[in-house]
Amino acid sequence: MSDSTQIVVDFANLSDITLIIINVSRVVFVIVNIWLFYSFLTAKNRPIWFQIIAFAGTWATINCLRDFIMPIAPNHYWVGYILSLLLLIPLSLVFKETLHAKLFVFFMVSSFSQAYFSIFCSLEILALKNMVGWLLLAGLLLELACIPLIRKYIRPHIKNILDVLDQQHRVFSFFPMLSFALVAFYAGQTTYSLFTCIPLVLFTLMMGFSYYLIAVSIDQTKYNQQLELTSRTDSLTSLYNRRHMETRIQEEHEQYQRTGMEFALISIDVDLFKVINDRYGHACGDFLLQSVAEDIRKSVRQSDTVARWGGDEFLLLLPGTNAKIAMELAERISKTVEKHRYVYENNTLAVTVTIGVAVIKSGDAADGIIKNADTGMYQGKRVGRNRVVFFDNLDAGVTL
């Protein structure tokens, strides 16, 4: 392309009306950026005046530094890009997210906003052969008008990206930093032509498509994880279901065969549950199962696995647990449920549980220890309910 297709703008000799329009455009630009920050990040519980001072003070500082540096700077665009990094200060003071999340949002928002600013600036210069400001201002006002749509349709996906960023892959926060640097390179050109404008437009589209692919990938991953969790979870009690418990017992049994580290199973059954269902209705029965499940969940260790085994029966897997510890936990659960008064509508229910305990022994199969725990529980039912039975004591005729 020949030099005649390139336009050089003397920003030092713009008309007064153009300077006014550009300054208004800068105000709109700052409003757009701050609104987007609030769209993607969560504000701390700070007074509104503190948040206003944080952003307004930083913006005033940026303007003062720009007026001081601009006359001696070789490129006024790059001055603006560098000074905009000061907005990281109010971001760190106002928002709750981690540093990586704040960096990600800042450079993502800044990359798109600066690219959008530069594209409209270039289009205006190429179309009008000079910098007037009206097209730039119209473009920024259009961006401002689009923010409600961004909050509705794009914010949930960005939130998902930030969740993943906080948990893992923090190095990904460098991606928007590189985008910001590349946008600054294109925007910092002192001559304007289609050769500089078209790559900037294409790069902006490529950034948007990249974030779209990332969001779709994360959404699909979360959906698959939710499906997997649903397939392993009991819908009524939110405990693990029988399928997951069978898998965990098999894993623990294989570890026992490799290392000899024992484990225990506790089988828990709600006494006279059918009577409660018949007397108060199935809704009350469901409430009772949920409440007892919560009491059991609160009683176990983080390493233990609790599942609804079926109907009104629960099964607990206790890794690295001997008979003494398992029996103490079973007794504690029994007393917790017995002391609890479960209130459903106008009815106060006092219930008990019968518990069977079994500890893995040499030669036991995975399904064998399940049967042992069930045997202990059913023996407790036969001799009067509301008790804890250790399977190894059955031969000796001992129950608790």
CA distance 141 to 161: 27
- Output the six-digit token pair for 368: 């064998």
Q: Which of 230, 251, 277 is the last residue of a domain?
A: 230
Q: Which residues, other chains included, contact 353 with Cβ-Cβ below 8 Å and sequence gap of 6+?
A: 268, 269, 270, 271, 292, 333, 334, 337, 338, 386
Q: Span 203-208, mean pLDDT?
A: 85
Q: Model confidence at 2, in pLDDT bands (50, 70, 90)?
A: very low
Residue 235 lies in a domain: no
Residue 131: pLDDT above 70?
A: no
Residue with the bigger pLDDT between 129 and 378: it is 378
Give per-residue pLDDT as tens, 50-108: 999 999 999 899 888 887 887 776 666 677 778 888 999 999 999 998 888 899 999 99
Predicted local confidence at residue 136, as pLDDT: 81
137 and 185 inside one domain: yes
Residue 122 lies in a domain: yes
Question: Beta strands 313-319 and 305-310: pairing type?
Answer: antiparallel
Signed CA dihedral, 93, 94, 95, 96: sign only: positive
Residue 197: pLDDT above 50?
A: yes
Range of the domain at 80: 3-230
63 and 208 inside one domain: yes
Predicted local confidence at residue 190, as pLDDT: 60
Give me the chain's average pLDDT, please: 86
Residue 114 lies in a domain: yes
- Identify the CATH number of the domain in which residue 346 sits: 3.30.70.270
Q: Model confidence at 175, in pLDDT bands (50, 70, 90)?
A: confident
Q: Which of 183, 204, 230 is the last residue of a domain?
A: 230
147 and 199 inside one domain: yes
CA distance 303 to 209: 42
Our CA angle for 154, 155, 160, nearest 5°, is 105
Q: Name the percent of the chain lying above pLDDT 70.
A: 90
Contact 124, 92 (CB under 8 A): no
